[in-house]
Structure 1
């Protein structure tokens, strides 16, 4: 394995370990906040979050797509990506439901508000997001095992 690939594998494993342990209070206090967030996936099934970020250490406040998503705890209100923790604000689905209600649409349903981001599709099925994240974690862990066996 090339040095760059090993470095990426090590970072992915560190992010997975952090996600499995969960964030500390200090992690969350320092984490940027992501509002109107929505999971997106690319053709390789890599999941990212799109949303409005504030408090990001490199870009401040902006509309972003995060680095690859490692874990998402909707109930606790946090996400772990390849590079950092995020505190989760209002999900896009709630915003969408509010817009539908305000427009007096009989059913507050997904798809009332839409957007496209080239190379990505929205993944609004929580179970599918969880399965994609689990598959990526298993892939990384298997790659680490294979790498150890070869060396």
Structure 2
């Protein structure tokens, strides 16, 4: 995985290669989260319900921005189609660039709707995880015969 410095306004301006690198970083981030939550990694990667709550919250924030991304991709494709000659290399519309663009716009609109639904589902998961925690038992002193644990240091996580 190549490291990337995320800059909303890179010093050299935006370019296609940087934009693709950022999209690739998102792919890698999801892959890392998948590995962190595998059963044999989860005790360390997601030790508490509060960790799951924070993951869901951060993903919700990310997902909430993707509807804007898909709208802007749709707008960009529309501008390109209006100002440049679109070619079609394969697919159901090999001789009809306008139909191919219309189909791509339709797909991006569906992505926008799905992104909104995904963000709403993540908000629901975030809210459902909110009240959850685990009791962390205090270390007990085997020499304490009183059984009084009023100052046990027991807590929640």
The TM-score range, normalised by the shorter chain, is 0.3 to 0.5
Comparing both structures, which one devotes a greater share of its residues to strand?
1
Larger Rg: 2
- What's the TM-score once normalised by structure 1's chain length? 0.34
In the superposition, the TM-score normalised over structure 2's length comes to 0.33
Structure 1 or 2: more helix by fraction: 2
